[in-house]
Amino acid sequence: KRWNVYVTREIPKPALDMLAQYCDMEVNPEDCVLKREVLLEKVQGRDGVLCLLTDRIDKEVLDAARDAVIFSNYAVGFDNIDVEYASTRGILISNTPGVLTEATAEMAWALLFAVARRVVESDRYNREGKFNGWGPLHFLGQNVTGKTLGVIGVGRIGTSFAKKAQGFEMKILYSNTRVNADFEAQTGGKYVDLDTLLQESDFISLHVPLSPKTKHLISGRELKLMKKSAILINTSRGPVVDEKALVKALKEGEIWGAGLDVYEKEPEIAPGLAELNNVVMCPHIASATEETRTKMGMMAVENLLAGLGGKIPPNCLNPEAIERRGKN
């Protein structure tokens, strides 16, 4: 039997080609985030769905997808999905861990350097024709070598990010839900409580998943604890940072700068943020390399096909769902 699947937005071709070998599929033809009402309509009657982090897969969508056995998320983060409810409905959920670790860690470094050395701001200045000759006081930034790096959340991405600090001879502090001996062995990082990390780090990078516990983990109080020279990097999820408080801290010089790839209300950006020169803002592109996006696609398709075939996908987030199947 050929399965009937829906893909909420075009993903790299090798992945779609593989899917087409086994499935009748429909792909959202528009290169934009799928509208809510279209999502609700299109999931009906499908055996499986390949969805993105921009699709909110809640009770309503899962109920509309009455025949679906799996939602395969094209992302490592899965805060967009009500996994618990999916389990009660017997619907498997999978994600794409591992393949985007390096790309995301590299992006955190790109942002750190861009902010510390004012790369984007000075590029803008140059394009505007303002370069009038070398100046001893032009665009003074901060050295990165020898500084203290604070890593919040040391899963795969946080670990990869910290490992790359080695060539810059940095002292590494980390905070995490638990001591991570493997992280310490790989990076020489020292476990500290969050407040100590905020107070002592020169650069702070966020690598936690979004959950009720990590929402606004960095808010006004935390920003005040940071050094005035601190740089905050966020490649995790926007709501981990209270964006309004961040705008205020950046404006008032409570911290020195920020490098952001994610936003609290994507794709909206908090009022005032875009007017600041001490922030570098990318449009959620940390995993956006040719290689990585293709690997994410292949992984998402493999998960989808496994689920459709009655198996537990390799990157399943709720294997227990399979026992609920047909029971409600």
Per CB under 6 A, 53 contacts ligand GLV: yes
Query: Cβ-count burial of 301 within 10 angstroms (0-12 exposed, 13-18 middle, 19+ buried)?
Result: buried
Q: How far is the CB of 74 from ligand GLV (least distance, A)?
A: 7
**Strand positions, DSSP E, 79-202:** 92-94, 148-152, 171-175, 190-191
Q: Find out whether 244 and 157 touch, Cβ atoms under 8 Å.
A: no
Query: Cβ-count burial of 81 within 10 angstroms (0-12 exposed, 13-18 middle, 19+ buried)?
Result: buried
- Block residue for tokens 């062995």: 185
Per CB under 6 A, 72 contacts ligand GLV: no
Residue whose CB is less far from ligand GLV, 101 or 234: 101
Catalytic residues: 237, 266, 284
Per CB under 6 A, 297 contacts ligand GLV: no
Q: Find out whether 45 and 24 touch, Cβ atoms under 8 Å.
A: no
Per CB under 6 A, 158 contacts ligand GLV: yes
Q: Find out whether 59 and 190 touch, Cβ atoms under 8 Å.
A: no
Which of residues 57, 100, 204, 240 is near ligand GLV by CB under 6 A? Answer: 100
Per CB under 6 A, 75 contacts ligand GLV: yes
Coil, helix or strand at residue 205 = strand
Per CB under 6 A, 156 contacts ligand GLV: yes
Segment lying near ligand GLV (by CB under 6 A), choices 75-83, 139-147, 240-248, 252-260: 75-83
Segment lying near ligand GLV (by CB under 6 A), choices 13-21, 94-102, 118-126, 297-305: 94-102
Q: How far is the CB of 149 from ligand GLV (least distance, A)?
A: 16
Segment lying near ligand GLV (by CB under 6 A), choices 1-9, 64-72, 74-82, 173-181: 74-82
Residue whose CB is less far from ligand GLV, 155 or 220: 155
Chain residue whose CB lies nearest ligand GLV? 155
Per CB under 6 A, 155 contacts ligand GLV: yes
Beta bridge mates, 57: 81
Segment lying near ligand GLV (by CB under 6 A), choices 5-13, 149-157, 214-222, 245-253: 149-157
Q: In sequence order, what are the residues at sequence separation of 6 or more whose Cβ sits closer than 8 angstroms to the Cβ of residue 252?
A: none
Q: How far is the CB of 328 from ligand GLV (least distance, A)?
A: 30
Per CB under 6 A, 207 contacts ligand GLV: yes
Secondary-structure breakdown of the chain: helix, strand, coil percentages, each rounded to the nearest 5: 40, 15, 45
Q: Report the length, in residues, of the chain.
A: 328
Q: How far is the CB of 146 from ligand GLV (least distance, A)?
A: 26
**Tokens linked to 5:** 């699947």
Per CB under 6 A, 97 contacts ligand GLV: yes
Per CB under 6 A, 92 contacts ligand GLV: no
Which of residues 287, 292, 315, 318 is near ligand GLV by CB under 6 A? Answer: 287
Nearest to 54 by CA among 304, 267, 223, 288: 267
Coil, helix or strand at residue 303 = helix
Q: Find out whether 85 and 316 touch, Cβ atoms under 8 Å.
A: no
Q: How far apart are CA 57 and CA 85, in angstroms?
A: 10
Residues that bind ligand GLV (CB under 6 A): 53, 75-77, 97, 100-101, 155-158, 207, 287
